[in-house]
């Protein structure tokens, strides 16, 4: 259990968020509140309220940041309105106050609203279709009720606060640079804590908060250690460091030539730290994505992220249909590392039994309380859930899966297909690459985090607000009618060349 210092840190975090919003612009304060809270606050600390999610390291920063965003935006609106009245009233000295951050979606409202409906409506049907209790040996799990549906919806709402805030306030190109910059700067500071645990073993969580959040045996690698700092597992740390590497090289591409070298060397530093984290999956993904980020243009990057997002979105369907060649993947892994191949085989077997259980309630899932897990005749839990997709699929069914992963993947897919028609910068394509490495890791691991939701929300906001390119606007047809399929010729227009002999001249009255 956590110590009293952990409680003090968690419950005093709203003060930290308040100071951030007083000292920094809204966008920077928002990103720092979510990212720093995710990296520094203790696990297993907080309390549960009836029908509400736990008040913990994920909820406290997000809820406080949402409240501060509301206050700052309201103050900005009031101050801007006062300055406008003062200027229009003939006051000698006009007061200049910047307007609040605007959000004017020009597309995608139907998509966003549809995903929100898919998020919050199916839990009621999940409760209706799981009213019966589960009795397996000595284990008894009661059926679901309306109370459970409300509880599931509250958990969904509060866990997606970073997504909704980012969609509203982090939709611009400059905001995307801010997100990338904060992730990189936070990772630089975190890297020294990582190096300490690489050398001294993962002990910081025990030293500061009084407990170790996972199995220590899983964090021993060869003759060294896998660090985790203040996260619940080294895999969570690895994917965050991988995202920071991508973000650093994205800033290298998005920054002017006079100031870009520093981001390149920071990316190399974070890449070296990622190697010491000893997570093969995150390191391999980074090793594949960094060259594409450095060598390809932003439109090609967006196309690549769209393909990766489609792969992630469709993977569970292919896995359920038996189209994923698990035997070939296992044989390949065994030729590289037999120990990791055994772990992979264990993962595949658990996915098979969990998918079989989930197929009994495909649309709405089994709900919470462990109803979607597999138990033997005596009631012992014989299943292990690793990937986030299998957790969502078993709990909320296909509809819940499409809603959550649609929030994560569909902005990347649509931006990839609209890459030639929208004004999108290297900051946006780099942030898309950063998000893509995070969602790919959701297939083997359950590494969902507030930072990932924050980045996904920023991408959704960018898709909804990005302006069309000048070329696309120029190609827009005239609203005037064109008789007989020929353009309307203005009286002041320059005379054009005679019609070619193979084309028929239009009749004139």
Closest residue by Cα to residue 172 from 467, 409, 408: 467
CA 8 to chain centre: 29
In a domain, 481, yes or no: no
Are the beta carbons of 123 and 396 closer than 8 angstroms? yes
In a domain, 478, yes or no: no
In a domain, 58, yes or no: yes
**Could you read off the pLDDT of 370-379 as tens digits, one per residue?**
999 999 989 9
Q: At what angle do helices 280-295 and 426-440 cross, to 10 degrees?
A: 160
Confidence check: pLDDT of 57 > 50: yes
H/E segment holding residue 336: helix 326-336
Q: CA 399 to CA 362: how far, in whole Å?
A: 9
Mean pLDDT confidence for 279-299? 93
In a domain, 180, yes or no: yes
In a domain, 479, yes or no: no
- As a whole number, the mean pLDDT across the chain is 89
Confidence check: pLDDT of 477 > 80: no
**Could you read off the pLDDT of 109-136 as tens digits, one per residue?**
999 999 999 999 999 999 999 999 999 8
Q: CA 364 to CA 121: how far, in whole Å?
A: 10
Residue at a domain's end among 86, 102, 118: 102
Per-residue confidence (pLDDT) for residue 481, from 0 to 100: 47
pLDDT higher for 488 or 196?
A: 196
Confidence check: pLDDT of 161 > 90: yes
Domain that holds residue 131: 107-470
Indicate if 273 and 387 belong to the same structural domain.
yes
Are the beta carbons of 218 and 233 closer than 8 angstroms? yes
Per-residue confidence (pLDDT) for residue 483, from 0 to 100: 47
Indicate if 401 and 334 belong to the same structural domain.
yes
**And the tokens for 417?**
């297909």
| 491 pLDDT tier (thresholds 50, 70, 90) | very low
Confidence check: pLDDT of 336 > 70: yes
Are the beta carbons of 176 and 207 closer than 8 angstroms? no
Name residue 140's beta-bridge partners: 135
In a domain, 508, yes or no: no
Indicate if 57 and 129 belong to the same structural domain.
no
Q: CA 34 to CA 454: how far, in whole Å?
A: 8
The count of domains in the chain is 2
Q: What percent of the chain has pLDDT over 90?
A: 69
Buried b (16+ CB within 10 A) or exposed e, 257-276: eeeeeebbebbeebbebbeb
Q: CA 492 to CA 490: how far, in whole Å?
A: 5
Task: Give, in degrees to the nearest 5, the angle at Cα 408 between 405 and 413.
Answer: 100
Q: CA 81 to CA 163: how far, in whole Å?
A: 29
Indicate if 76 and 120 belong to the same structural domain.
no
Indicate if 75 and 191 belong to the same structural domain.
no
Confidence check: pLDDT of 431 > 90: yes
Indicate if 42 and 152 belong to the same structural domain.
no
Indicate if 242 and 257 belong to the same structural domain.
yes
Per-residue confidence (pLDDT) for residue 83, from 0 to 100: 77
Q: What are phi and psi of 113, to 5 degrees?
A: -65, -35
- Whose tokens are 């649609």? That residue is 406
pLDDT higher for 463 or 505?
A: 463
Confidence check: pLDDT of 506 > 80: no
Q: What are phi and psi of 359, to 5 degrees?
A: -65, -15
Indicate if 91 and 52 belong to the same structural domain.
yes
Indicate the SS3 state at residue 362.
Answer: coil
Indicate if 116 and 86 belong to the same structural domain.
no
**Could you read off the pLDDT of 259-276 as tens digits, one per residue?**
889 999 999 999 999 999
Indicate if 347 and 390 belong to the same structural domain.
yes
In a domain, 249, yes or no: yes
Helices (H) and strands (E) in the chain, counts: 20, 4
Indicate if 122 and 30 belong to the same structural domain.
no
Listed in sequence order, the DSSP H helices in 108-145 are 109-120, 122-128
Residue at a domain's end among 79, 102, 125: 102
Confidence check: pLDDT of 418 > 90: yes
Residue at a domain's end among 34, 68, 102: 102
Indicate if 441 and 455 belong to the same structural domain.
yes
């Amino acid at each position: 259990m956590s110590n009293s210092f952990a409680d003090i840190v968690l419950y005093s975090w709203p003060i930290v968020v308040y100071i951030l919003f007083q000292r920094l612009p809204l966008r920077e304060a928002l990103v720092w509140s979510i990212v720093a809270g995710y990296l520094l606050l203790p696990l297993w600390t907080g309390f549960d309220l009836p029908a509400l999610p736990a008040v913990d390291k994920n909820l406290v920063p997000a809820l406080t940041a949402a409240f501060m965003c509301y206050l700052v935006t309201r103050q900005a609106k009031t101050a801007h309105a006062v300055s406008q009245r003062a200027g229009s009233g003939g006051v000698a000295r006009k007061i200049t106050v910047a307007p609040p951050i605007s959000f004017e979606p020009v597309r995608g409202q139907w998509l966003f609203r549809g995903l929100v409906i898919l998020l919050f409506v199916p839990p009621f049907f999940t409760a209706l279709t799981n009213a019966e209790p589960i009795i397996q040996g000595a284990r008894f799990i009661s059926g679901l009720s309306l109370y459970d549906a409300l509880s599931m919806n509250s958990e969904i709402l509060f866990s997606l606060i970073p997504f909704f805030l980012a969609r509203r306030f982090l939709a611009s190109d400059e905001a995307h640079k801010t997100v990338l910059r904060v992730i990189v700067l936070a990772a630089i500071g975190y890297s020294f804590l990582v190096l300490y645990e690489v050398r001294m073993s993962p002990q910081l969580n025990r030293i500061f908060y009084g407990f170790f959040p996972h199995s220590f045996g899983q964090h021993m690698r060869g003759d060294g250690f896998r660090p985790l700092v203040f996260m619940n597992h080294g895999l969570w740390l690895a994917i965050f460091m991988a995202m920071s590497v991508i973000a650093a090289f994205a800033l290298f591409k998005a920054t002017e030539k006079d100031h870009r070298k520093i981001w390149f060397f920071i990316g190399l530093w974070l890449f070296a730290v990622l190697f010491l984290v000893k997570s093969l999956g995150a390191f391999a993904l980074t090793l594949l994505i960094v060259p594409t980020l450095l060598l390809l243009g932003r439109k090609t990057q967006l196309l690549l992220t769209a393909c990766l997002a489609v792969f992630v979105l469709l993977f569970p369907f292919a896995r359920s249909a038996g189209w994923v060649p698990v035997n070939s993947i296992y044989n390949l892994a065994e030729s590289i590392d037999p120990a990791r191949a055994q772990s992979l085989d264990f993962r595949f077997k658990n996915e098979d039994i969990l998918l079989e259980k989930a197929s009994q309630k495909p649309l709405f899932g089994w709900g919470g309380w462990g109803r979607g897990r597999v138990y033997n005749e005596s009631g012992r839990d014989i299943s292990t859930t690793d990937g986030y997709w299998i957790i969502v699929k078993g709990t909320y069914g296909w509809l819940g899966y499409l809603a959550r992963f649609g929030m994560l993947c569909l902005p990347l897919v649509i931006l990839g297909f609209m890459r030639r028609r929208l004004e999108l910068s290297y900051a946006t394509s780099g942030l898309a690459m950063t998000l893509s490495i995070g969602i790919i890791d959701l297939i083997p691991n359950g590494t969902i985090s507030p930072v990932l939701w924050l980045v996904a929300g920023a991408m959704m906001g960018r898709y909804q607000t990005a302006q069309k390119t000048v070329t696309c606007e120029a190609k827009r047809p005239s609203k005037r009618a064109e008789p007989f399929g020929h353009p309307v010729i203005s009286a002041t227009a320059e005379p054009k060349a005679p019609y070619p002999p193979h084309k028929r001249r239009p009749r004139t009255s």
